[in-house]
Amino acid sequence: MDNTQNTNNDVSREFSPKRTPQPQQNNNAPKNGSPKGPRGPKRSGTFQYSKFGSQRKPRGKNDAVPNEAPVKTKKVTGNIPPVAPGNIRIIPLGGVEEIGKNMTAIEIGNDIIVIDAGMQFANEDTPGIDYIIPNTTYLEERKDKIRAMIITHGHLDHIGGIPLVMSRIGNPTLYSRNLSILMIQKRQSEFPHLPELKLVPVEKNQSITVGNIKVRFFGVTHTIPDSMGIIIETPYGNIVTPGDYKLDHIDGVATPEEEKEYAEFDNSNNLLLLTDSTNIENEGFALPEIKVHQGLENLIRISTGRTIIAAFASHITRLVKIVEIAEAFNKKVAIEGRSMKTNMEVVEAAGLFKYKKGTIITIEEVDNYPPDRVIILMTGAQGEEFAALNRAANKTHKKFRLRKGDTIILSASIIPGNERAVEKLKDGIARQGVKIMSYRTSEEYIHGTGHGNQEDIKWLHRKIHPRFFIPIHGNHFRLQLHKDLAMSLGMREDHIVVPDNGMIIEIQDEGKKIVVLKDKAPSNPMMVDGFSVGDEQDVVIRDRQMLAQDGMFVIIAMIDQKTGKLKKSPDLISRGFVYLKENQELLRQARIMIKQTVEQTTQNMNPINLDYVKNTVGESASKYLYQKTAKRPLIIPVILTV
C-alpha cells in the first residue's frame, strides 16, 4: 500500500523504533512467559504508582535488554470450534476496521495460510505507543497448522509486523517476490534478537503447494515493484486477492500487459474475492503512473534552479524513474532521508535498477554543481517532525540549506490528519523564498495514487466474477461502500460479508453459502510499546490520555503511624495542570481538604491501611479539583508513614 490521500501506513514514513532491541544478555528478563517485562508489573489503577513521571532515559550500552518482548495476550479461543470438513474459514485479523496492519488467515482442513503481516503507526488514541500490529492469539494457538506466510508486497502496512508476528506463530516459511524478500530482510535486521526467518522467493505465474493447498501468484500494478496477487485453489473454486493494486491503463482501457496478467481469470471458477477498498470513494480510474513520470520529466527539463522533490519513500517506482530522468538530462541526484536511501539500496540489490556511476551524490556535494544540474530527493512531504524536508524548512538540517531560486515539488497528496503539519512545512519553505509546487497547484501531473479508484475496482470485479465477496483494506464505511459497488454490479447481498477484525467467516455447504460464526477471534490490537507487546494496555493508554489533556497532580503526605495524623502540610506537585505560583489559594484549600480527608480516614484505623488511604485521598482530590477548575488531572497520591 502506498501513502495516498486516504492512507498513512506504509514505508513512506521513516521507521525508527525508540528502543530497538539489541542481542545482549538480560538477567532480569521475564521467565516462563511471565507478562512482567522490563517495566515491572502492570499497574492496575489510577492512583497507585510505584514511581513518578513518564520520561524514558536513553539506554546505555551495558543496559539489559530482553531476548524477546513480553507478550500479554489472553488465550481465549479454545471454545471456537475447529473447521468442519469441507468448510473454508476466512479470518481478517487486521486491515478491515482501519487502513493498515493488514493480515488475513485462510483455514482449510488442517492447513492455515496467512496473508500479510502489517503494522499501523500510533495516533492520538494511542499516545506513546511505537506502533500497532494485528492480534495473533488465534494463530498462536494453532501454530502447528500454519503452513505459510505469504506477503503481497513490501510496504510496511503489509510487512511491518513480521518481526514480532513470525516468532509467535511458529515462524512458518514466508513466501514473496524478490524485492519484498529483501525489504523484509532489511526490516528484520532491526530485530537481531529474534529468530531468523525462513524466506522463499517466488515469482508471478509460479505455483507452490503448502500442506494440502495449492497457491498461485500473478503480478499487479502498484507503487512498488514486485507486487503480486494470490490465488488459493479450493475444491469449490479459487480464493483471489490482488493485494494493493491499480490498473495500468490508457484512457480507461487496460494495457495489453495488464490484460495478460489477468487473462487467466476470464474462464476460471472463482469462489471468493478479497480486495482493496482504500480508494472506493474516488470516482473514475486512478491516474496511471506514466502520467506522473511525464509530468515530473517536464518540470525537471525546464528547471533553472535546484529541484527538490519530496515524495513517499514507498513510491519506489517513481523514485527510480526520477533518477532515470536525471541521467537522461545529465543531472546529479542527492537522496536525503533514511527510509528513502534504504529503499533505493534495496531496489539496487534486487537488480531492478542500476544507476550510472557518478549520478548519485551526497547531500554535502550538492553545492559543488550548478543549481540547474541538481535534483534532491527528500522524505518529509507530510511535514513529519524529523524528516529531511521539515528540517530544511525550519533551518535545523545540519548539511543542507534551502535558498532562493529552489523549487520544491511535493509529489504526494496530504494524508488526512496531516494538514496542519503540511501547512507549517509550507510556511517554513515559503519564508525562505522557495517556490512550492503541489499536486493541487501544478499544471503537470506530479502525484498519483497506488490504489484503484471506483472504475479500477469495477474492472477487477468484472474480471474475477466471484461467487462471494469480502471487502478488505479500509475502515468500515469504506467496506460498506465497496459492498454497495459490488451489489451495483449484480452481486447478491447474501453473498457479501463486510467484516470486522477477528470475524470468523466460513464458506459452507460445498461452496454454496457464506456465513459469519457467532464466535470471534481475539481482535484487540497488539500495541508495541518499547519492549512490551500486548493487548492489555487500556489503563496505560487512558492514563497517558489524561496526562495529555489535563496533566497530573501529585500529593505527598507523611502520616504519623501511631496517631494517623499528618506530620506536616502535604507537598503538592503539578505538571501540565495549573501553574502553582498563580494558584496559591487553590493549593491552600487543597492542603486543608487533604489533611481533613487523611485524618478522617485514619481515625480509629489500626493498623493504617495505606492502600485505602491512597484511594480515598485520590478520589477526594479528584472531585475537589474538578469542582474548582473543571479539569481532571491524573491524581497520584503518595502516602508515607513515619
Per the structure block, which three cell numbers stand in for 169? 506463530
Same domain? For 279 and 142 the reply is yes
In a domain, 515, yes or no: yes
User: Which pLDDT does position 2 carry in this prediction?
Assistant: 47
Asked if the model's pLDDT at residue 154 lies above 70, the reply is yes
Angle at Cα 499 formed by Cα 498 and Cα 501, nearest 5°? 160
Q: Is the pTM of this model over 0.85?
A: no
In a domain, 530, yes or no: no
**In the chain, % of residues over pLDDT 90:** 62
Same domain? For 519 and 555 the reply is no
H-type helices in 101-205, by residue range? 137-140, 156-159, 162-166, 178-188
In a domain, 580, yes or no: yes
Per the structure block, which three cell numbers stand in for 130? 511505537
Asked if the model's pLDDT at residue 40 lies above 70, the reply is no
Region for 473 from its dihedrals, namely left if φ exceeds 0, alpha if ψ lies in -120 to 50, beta otherwise: left
Residue 451 is a catalytic residue:
yes
Least-confidence region, from 120-129, 406-415, 440-449, 463-472 = 120-129
Distance CA(178)–CA(344), nearest Å, equals 14
Question: What number of CA atoms fall less than 13 Å from residue 503's CA on the CB side?
Answer: 17
Indicate which residue of 249, 315, 447, 451 is catalytic. Answer: 451
> Is residue 617 classed exposed, middle or buried when 0-12, 13-18 and 19+ CB atoms within 10 A define those classes?
buried
Length of the chain: 642
Q: Output the 3-class SS for 93-122.
A: EECCCECCCCEEEEEECCEEEEECCCCEEC
Residue 372 is a catalytic residue:
no
Q: Output the 3-class SS for 255-310.
A: CHHHHHHHHHHCCCCEEEEEEECCCCCCCCCCCCHHHHHHHHHHHHHHCCCCEEEE
User: Which pLDDT does position 263 carry in this prediction?
Assistant: 94
SS3 (DSSP) at 321: helix
Same domain? For 427 and 408 the reply is yes
Least-confidence region, from 107-121, 152-166, 528-542 = 528-542
Instruction: Supply the CATH number for residue 372's domain.
Output: 3.40.50.10710
Query: What are the angstrom distances between the C-alpha of 304 and each of 246, 409, 557?
Result: 34, 14, 69
In a domain, 37, yes or no: no
- Start-to-end CA distance of the chain, whole Å, equals 61
**In the chain, % of residues over pLDDT 70:** 83
Contacts 24+ apart (CB under 8 A), 52-60: 52/554, 52/636, 54/128, 54/544, 54/547, 56/18, 56/19, 56/530, 59/19
Instruction: Supply the CATH number for residue 220's domain.
Output: 3.60.15.10
Q: Using one digit for the tens of pLDDT, what is the confidence trace for 447-462? A: 999 999 999 999 999 9
Q: How many domains is the chain built from?
A: 3
218 against 588, higher pLDDT: 218
Q: Using one digit for the tens of pLDDT, what is the confidence trace for 43-95? A: 333 333 322 233 333 333 333 333 444 444 445 566 899 999 999 999 999 99
User: Which pLDDT does position 193 carry in this prediction?
Assistant: 87
User: Which pLDDT does position 5 carry in this prediction?
Assistant: 40
Least-confidence region, from 95-99, 350-354, 509-513 = 350-354
Reference 569, options 612, 601, 604, 598; nearest CA is 598
Same domain? For 225 and 353 the reply is no
Same domain? For 231 and 96 the reply is yes
In a domain, 207, yes or no: yes
Same domain? For 194 and 110 the reply is yes
Distance CA(248)–CA(452), nearest Å, equals 10
Per the structure block, which three cell numbers stand in for 42? 502492570
The torsion angles phi and psi of 600, rounded to 5 degrees, stand at -70, -35
Handedness of CA 320, 322, 325, 329 (dihedral sign): negative
In a domain, 513, yes or no: yes
User: Which pLDDT does position 54 carry in this prediction?
Assistant: 33
User: Which pLDDT does position 26 carry in this prediction?
Assistant: 39
Instruction: Decide: 48 and 39 in contact? Cβ < 8 Å.
Output: no
pLDDT average, residue stretch 480-498: 98
Asked if the model's pLDDT at residue 353 lies above 80, the reply is yes
Same domain? For 494 and 611 the reply is no
Same domain? For 246 and 161 the reply is yes
Asked if the model's pLDDT at residue 386 lies above 70, the reply is yes
In a domain, 352, yes or no: yes
User: Which pLDDT does position 607 carry in this prediction?
Assistant: 86
Indicate which residue of 276, 406, 456, 550 is catalytic. Answer: 276
Instruction: Supply the CATH number for residue 591's domain.
Output: 3.10.20.580
pLDDT average, residue stretch 203-231: 96
Same domain? For 365 and 501 the reply is no
Asked if the model's pLDDT at residue 537 lies above 80, the reply is no
42 against 261, higher pLDDT: 261
Instruction: Give me the domain span that covers residue 412.
Output: 289-438
Q: Using one digit for the tens of pLDDT, what is the confidence trace for 393-438? A: 999 999 999 999 999 999 998 877 788 999 999 999 999 999 999 9
Confidence of residue 122 (pLDDT cuts 50, 70, 90): low
159 against 38, higher pLDDT: 159
Average pLDDT, the chain: 85
SS3 (DSSP) at 547: helix
In a domain, 415, yes or no: yes
pLDDT average, residue stretch 328-340: 95
User: Which pLDDT does position 533 carry in this prediction?
Assistant: 67
30 against 167, higher pLDDT: 167
Reference 515, options 526, 501, 505; nearest CA is 505
Reference 161, options 527, 476, 536; nearest CA is 527
Same domain? For 80 and 157 the reply is yes
Same domain? For 295 and 263 the reply is no
User: Which pLDDT does position 190 carry in this prediction?
Assistant: 87
Domain boundary among 411, 438, 465: 438
Same domain? For 95 and 131 the reply is yes
Domain boundary among 498, 523, 548: 523
